[in-house]
Amino acid sequence: MRHFVIVGVLVIPVSILTYFGIQASHLMPVEASVQSVIVDQVWNWDMMTLSFLFALIMVPLVYSLIVFRRRKGETGDGKHEEGNVKLEVTWTIIPLILVTAYAYMGAYTLGETRVADPNAMVVNVTAHQWDWAFDYPEGFTSNELHLPINRQVELKMTSLDVIHSFWVPEFRIKQDILPGRITTLRITPVKLGSYKVYCAELCGTSHAYMQRPVIVTSQADYDAWAKQQAAAQATLLAKGGPEAGKAMVAQNGCGGCHSIDGSKLTGPTWRGLFGSQVKLESGQTVKADEAYLTESIKDPNAKIVAGFPANVMPHFTLTDQQIQSIVAYIETLK
């Protein structure tokens, strides 16, 4: 009985030291959203429980290695013990209660992160290999996600190709993005600053580089930025030409597959492409003129370039003027 008492007493300080050691290591990034606070409450309970379980395993183990070790001169076997029904029932019932409690906490937390605000700002998110595009209610598109502080934002997300996953570590929660479906995620930022959105679903060659800025500002700063972006984009797109094409390329993440410096990515480089001879997978050679580039944007699988796979480039919804602008931009990349 003495050994049980000693072990029981030692478990308490080891549990406390383990818990505060984990807390001191700052494993989690800052809490930057209402949802992150809710999630971290469950995480905190997890750490307390795991610290206790760690101590409950390690303290008896280390104590037994020291106190009950075979000493010099001992050659006999240890005392044989049969099963202990009370112990087995105890370590079955207690974990069952804990698992049930955590299941309830998890379900409750999930419900709290999905509470809808009728005044939420809606941003449409398009994910594709390997970039993000954000469509704002003010009528413009950007590859940066700007959010006003203390206002819930509903992200309506879809993918143009494979499964992606939206994740900002400081916001904690994440959501898979599926092709052909709309998934939603609600975020209420509470801390000003710059963060990054990552793809948390392995989605191909450049998955690790599928990152974009997330900037949380005051409502006034957001309104000023949105007004400026909407006006600039409307003027640029109405004007057309290479600069408009460059903007369209940035918005749609074309640089994730097509380089402008000659380096090889998932798709052919655009440097020196216009007017060059392109060898196709079929063995034919075609000239990369305006007609060829327009066709390739409208129907990516019409002519597959040799050395590159088919069915990689998604189908973008672009007007003829927008396509002409992109072609004009490619023409400048000598």
Cβ–Cβ < 8 Å for 132, 213: no
Mean pLDDT of 201-220: 92
Which strand (E) or helix (H) includes residue 6?
Answer: helix 2-24
**pLDDT score, position 194:** 95
Higher-scoring residue by pLDDT: 255, 188: 188
**pLDDT score, position 156:** 94
Whole-angstrom distance, CA of residue 129 vs CA of residue 205:
9
**pLDDT score, position 10:** 92
Look up the pTM and report it: 0.71
Strands 121-128 and 153-159, bridge-based pairing: parallel
pLDDT range class, residue 267, cuts 50, 70, 90: confident
Q: Is the dihedral of CA 229, 231, 237, 242 positive or negative?
A: negative
**pLDDT score, position 322:** 82
Q: Which of 86-100, 194-208, 250-264, 267-281 has the lowest mean pLDDT?
A: 250-264
Which strand (E) or helix (H) includes residue 226?
Answer: helix 219-239
Higher-scoring residue by pLDDT: 266, 275: 275
Mean pLDDT of 188-198: 95
pLDDT range class, residue 264, cuts 50, 70, 90: confident
Nearest one of 264, 89, 117, 91 to 187, comparing CA atoms:
117
pLDDT surpassing 80 at residue 150 = yes
Q: Which of 33-42, 93-102, 184-193, 272-281 has the lowest mean pLDDT?
A: 272-281
**pLDDT score, position 154:** 95
pLDDT surpassing 90 at residue 315 = no
pLDDT surpassing 90 at residue 295 = no
Higher-scoring residue by pLDDT: 167, 322: 167
pLDDT surpassing 80 at residue 60 = yes
Give 281-315 as a DSSP string: TTS-EEE--HHHHHHHHH-TTSSPBTTS-SS-S--
Higher-scoring residue by pLDDT: 283, 251: 283
Mean pLDDT of 249-262: 78
Cβ–Cβ < 8 Å for 155, 120: no
Mean confidence (pLDDT) of the chain: 88
pLDDT 10s digits, 86-98:
888 988 998 899 8
pLDDT 10s digits, 158-182:
988 889 999 999 999 999 999 889 9
pLDDT surpassing 90 at residue 104 = yes
Which strand (E) or helix (H) includes residue 13?
Answer: helix 2-24
